Amino acid sequence: MVNVVRELTDEAPVGATITSGARQPVTIPSSRYIDPAFAELELRRLWPRVWQFACSTDHVAHPGDAYEYRCGPYSTVIVRGDDGLLRAFQNVCRHRGSAICDGAASGLTELRCPFHRWSWDLAGRLREVPSRRGFGALPAQDYGLFPVAVDTWGPMVFVDPSNSGGPLGDFLEGVPEDIAWVGLDEFHCDYLVSVPLPGNWKVISDGFSETYHVQGIHREMLPAVDDVNGPQRLWQHHGKLEQRYGLPSPRFREPPGVQAVWESFIEVMGARIGITELSTPVPPVPRGETLRDVLAGMLRNVGRSEGVSYDRFTNDQLMTLQQYNLFPNVSLVIFPDLMTVLRSRPGATPDDGYLDIINYRRNAPGAPRARPIDALLPAGQDPGLSLILNQDAGNVARAQRGLHQPGFSRMTLSREEFRILNMHRNLERWLDITPTEIRGD
């Protein structure tokens, strides 16, 4: 792995593809996932400075819409102004520091602190101070809300609390161009669900940064997905995986039959083709076609019934996952008919975090935009997510508990896990860790 990773991250062009084999593993300190001092370093040097996904554009689609994004102790309010412009501010009153907004809101004409009722217009300008004379000279221009950089990519809103991270497009590197063929602007957000989990934000994020674990906790997927041969690539900050569905994993000694592949696909993502009953018989596969072609055709039919055409996409595009890992904490899972943003956030301690699932669907042209449903699920209960996400969420506590064992000081990464390694390389840059704590590369 030594030469492979160096070739990708140091010498090869950005966007290079992994093609060669590994010679030795890379190890990373496990303390990065459990040490309060490391978590504090992230809170001081990473989260206040880096571009991060905050919410969907559907959360703030209309003038007066507002959304609060929290990450650790930091809180940002994103608001759509009367002029239609999107702005973001640190969520803090200039009086005594109370948070101004909590959650999401619509129809606002101002941002008003509920503590002492100081208020600002939707552009962040001080509007009203009750009993203002008691403060003496209080120039309005000196007491505006603290601005936060905000920008959008497709149906997603990003914020940079530091206002110093440069343009969002530069931070995203080549990712938007790479996925432009899908047409992300046609997606609308259905819901945002937050799940408290007993694990570090990186443990949560790592679970969506490699497919090595599919043979472990997602064995139901194996008959219907190639978890071995998916090409991966890296930009400086971000990574990508392509994964083909509708065919079996090459890990099988004897490839499963068409019926097994069909049943596995239904169990994992049958809703995409409008079928959720495992007992449904496999449809005929015409001569010269494959089951993937049949599944793609069924997906096209579901789209037509909803007023959506997938005619511009090939069968392979419809049946191949495009997954992007955006530094530091987001995984985009994209098919032409759906997109899910999987975001991890730090919790109150290094052993706590949040998994946010932000679900998008491609809507028919001209379909009305509805405000997404937001939900915070209770901690410690079955989150009631999809089969695969339930398995991922259920594995977090086990993974975090193991990291605390005294004999385990370093985790070992394989070639398949180089997107995790790339995240740690970037962490070292952002946290100014010199010399590197990564061994073997």
Question: Average pLDDT by consecutive 10-residue portion of the chain (441 residues)?
Answer: 29 39 82 98 98 98 97 98 97 97 96 96 97 91 97 98 94 98 96 97 96 90 94 97 96 93 95 92 94 97 97 98 98 98 98 97 89 91 84 94 97 94 97 95 65
Integer Cα distance of 320 and 245 in angstroms: 6
CA 315 to chain centre: 26
Integer Cα distance of 218 and 223 in angstroms: 11
Neighbours of 264 (CB within 10 A): 24
pLDDT at site 14: 37
CATH of domain 52-164: 2.102.10.10
If residue 76 lies in a helix (H) or strand (E), which one and from where to where?
Answer: strand 74-80
What is the token pair recorded at 47? 């989260």
pLDDT at site 185: 95
pLDDT at site 433: 97
Homologous superfamily assigned to 1-51+176-243+318-441: Naphthalene 1,2-dioxygenase Alpha Subunit; Chain A, domain 1 (3.90.380.10)
DSSP at 436: -
The pTM score is: 0.93
In angstroms, the Cα distances linking 138 to 90, 95, 123 are: 20, 11, 19
Domain with CATH 3.90.380.10 in the chain: 1-51+176-243+318-441
Which residue, among 418, 53, 433, has the nearest Cα to 235 in the 3D structure?
418
pLDDT at site 367: 87
Integer Cα distance of 146 and 88 in angstroms: 9
> Coil, strand or helix: which one is 22?
coil
pLDDT at site 143: 96
Q: Would you say the C-alpha torsion 190, 53, 17, 32 has a positive or negative sign?
A: negative
Non-local CB neighbours of 177 within 8 Å, separated by 6+ positions: none
pLDDT at site 441: 65
SS3 labels along 50-62:
CCEEEEEHHHHCC
Domain with CATH 2.102.10.10 in the chain: 52-164
Beta strands in 249-366 (DSSP E): 320-326, 330-335, 338-346, 353-362
